Chains A and B, each alone.
Chain A
């Protein structure tokens, strides 16, 4: 399989374009013929992360690398940061505004969802400096069984 390296700038001011990077990643993975289950998991991880970058992180950079076996997704923003990562990882924890909730987000499900679908996930954050989410996913046929 053709290896893949993708880089995106995620606009923090536009809810409308949020998800463009995820859509492009998904289509790129389909094009190279990646496993369908891996594509689904990667899409959910990337999309939740990208939405978080827009609604909480003020935008930033996303990168995706895939060698046919191992995929790494790195999302970096220079936003307000997460004061308590452990709390943020809990299902239902959200600081989203009513405006964001009215758009269908802010249930506090994104990070737990990403953790569930990624094989490895590390969140690093500094208040006032930004957040980096690194996720690794493997093309593992065992997972489908």
Chain B
């Protein structure tokens, strides 16, 4: 990990104009890095540091993948709102769930501009 700032989830919410669906108690937690992907195997293969996953997919495996990788937060882009099953799963795993109206490119761009690096 090189030269990345940490952002609190509540700052990330502001940057992404996001709503929080679960994990309200985690909003003071910090993440140091993020990754955007619609390919869960890629996330499982290349992501090393715990952080946050942005994705355009909307199924329970997104949350399970995040939990396997010790991530703190999943952000659903493009205004996708996950069902209660997905939100409950995240809640059980101690993972915050955010939903942002931005598309993947803009959501990642905003976070990158705010100083959040990618996972490496």
Chain B interface residue bracket vs A: 20 to 34
Main secondary structure, interface of B, reads helix
The answer to whether B41 touches A113, judged by C-beta atoms less than 8 angstroms apart, is: yes
The answer to whether B44 touches A44, judged by C-beta atoms less than 8 angstroms apart, is: yes
User: Total number of A-B contacts with CB less than 8 angstroms?
Assistant: 68
Answer whether residue A5 sits at the interface, using C-beta atoms and an 8 A cutoff: no
Contact A105:B42 (CB < 8 A) given known A26-B68, A40-B70: no
Q: Which residues of B contact A19 (CB under 8 A)?
A: 60-61, 64, 68
**How far, in Å, is B53 (CB) from chain A's closest CB?**
11
Q: Which residues of A contact B61 (CB under 8 A)?
A: 15, 18-19, 51, 103-105
Q: Which residues of B contact A107 (CB under 8 A)?
A: 39, 41-42
Main secondary structure, interface of A, reads helix
Q: How many residues of A contact B (CB 8 A)?
A: 25
The 8 closest A-B pairs by CB, nearest first: A109-B41, A19-B64, A104-B40, A43-B68, A107-B41, A47-B68, A104-B57, A113-B45
Chain A to chain B contacts (Cβ below 8 Å), 30 pairs: A15-B61, A16-B60, A19-B61, A19-B68, A22-B64, A23-B64, A23-B67, A23-B93, A47-B44, A47-B65, A48-B41, A48-B44, A103-B57, A103-B59, A104-B38, A104-B39, A104-B40, A104-B57, A104-B59, A104-B62, A105-B40, A105-B41, A109-B39, A109-B41, A110-B41, A110-B44, A113-B41, A113-B44, A113-B45, A116-B45
